[in-house]
Amino acid sequence: MSLVIVGSLAFDTIETPLVRRERIVGGSGTYCALAASAFTKPKVVGIIGRDFPRKMLSAMAARGIDLAGVSMKAGKTFHWEGRYGTDPNQRTTVRTDLNVFARFKPVLPPSFRSADILYLANIDPDLHGPLLAQARKPKLVAMDTIRFWIETKREAVFRELGRVDVYFANDEEVKLLAGEANLIRAGRKLLEAGPSLIVVKKGEHGALLLGRDFVFGILARPCEDVVDPTGAGDSFAGGFLGYLDRVRRFTGREFRRAAVYGSVMASFAIESFGVERLLSLGEEDVEARFREFKSLVSF
Ligand code: AMP
């Protein structure tokens, strides 16, 4: 099996009530790929400027990530700035400088076209169509999106739901996109638009899998010290899809286990600024935390 991730590789400026970090490496594609690399060898499609650190590319490659789909262009790398309040679930986007990302015309290298799982991370929804046209019958297509795209290209985001199997979103985005205040009703409305599964991420409250005929809930790992919540959603998707790519089965049981691995990877992502913690993870760290999640809900 193979997992192809199309997403942003970015510089993030992050402000929490205690600390401000300028231009650290982030991006939906970066977080997702690093999380998925705990399970499989993901392939990444993205765009960076000449200012993107070579050291980070080497570190990603060392974790088995195939970067053949990442192109470097003259200009600056995408830059996003976010601010968190005392409640880490509340985030404000201060600025989004698309830079070279505005010219992103993603191309799947030939070895990427037979992807079994294609993940359209947080990218311009108008890029989905051209990307899907390059892929040869993926078994599972998933997408995510962020408030920025829902607010600027709402119709396109809605339309794209009709082409995917799994939609990852946080609870606020599900309600915003559906125009419904009740989360379950909002989720049902989005399911009607196409996907067979919606993965609703609820920050410190865990996640909910909403299918047409099943619902599954998972707690987030209790954490007293959330250092930087950025990338939790992308890491969740990376753990979820990386695990599915490894087990090669799309059954209800595996979706549930994938949700636990997604939560495991999100719990690591928030322990450090940027992708630092994900870069140092070993298999035993992941399995030990999986067991912790199991004991959290067994009674
Ligand atoms: P998350 O915290 O998982 O929702 O995702 C945060 C990541 O998404 C950050 O590392 C950003 O670089 C990236 N990001 C923020 N806005 C956008 C956007 N409009 N398009 C693509 N990626 C974005």
* Ligand 1 centroid distance, CA of 27 (Å): 5
Which residue positions in the chain have pLDDT lower than 70?
A: none
* Ligand 1 centroid distance, CA of 295 (Å): 32
* Ligand 1 centroid distance, CA of 122 (Å): 6
Distance CA 292, CA 137 (A): 37
With the most atoms of ligand 1 within 8 angstroms of its CB, the residue from 124, 146, 170 to mutate is 146
Q: Is 20 exposed, middle or buried (0-12, 13-18, 19+ CB in 10 A)?
A: exposed
What end-to-end distance do the CA atoms of the chain give, in Å?
Answer: 35
With the most atoms of ligand 1 within 8 angstroms of its CB, the residue from 8, 100, 150 to mutate is 8
Query: Tell me, what amino acid is at 282?
Result: G
Among 58, 56, 44, 31, which residue's Cα sits nearest to residue 2?
Answer: 44
* Ligand 1 centroid distance, CA of 299 (Å): 37
Tell which phi-psi region holds residue 142, choosing left (phi > 0), alpha (psi between -120 and 50) or beta.
beta
* Ligand 1 centroid distance, CA of 28 (Å): 5
- Helices (H) and strands (E) counted in the chain, each on its own, are 11, 13
- Whether ligand 1 lies within 6 angstroms of the CB of 231 is answered as yes
- Whether ligand 1 lies within 6 angstroms of the CB of 148 is answered as yes
- Whether ligand 1 lies within 6 angstroms of the CB of 145 is answered as no
Full DSSP string of 115-158:
-SEEEE-SS-GGGHHHHHHHS---SEEEEE--HHHHHHSHHHHH
pLDDT on residue 288: 97
Q: Is 151 exposed, middle or buried (0-12, 13-18, 19+ CB in 10 A)?
A: exposed
Rg (CA), the chain: 17
- Whether ligand 1 lies within 6 angstroms of the CB of 125 is answered as no
Which residue CA neighbors atom 10 of ligand 1 most closely? 27
- Whether ligand 1 lies within 6 angstroms of the CB of 8 is answered as yes
DSSP class of residue 221 equals: P
Distance CA 41, CA 3 (A): 8
Distance CA 157, CA 285 (A): 36
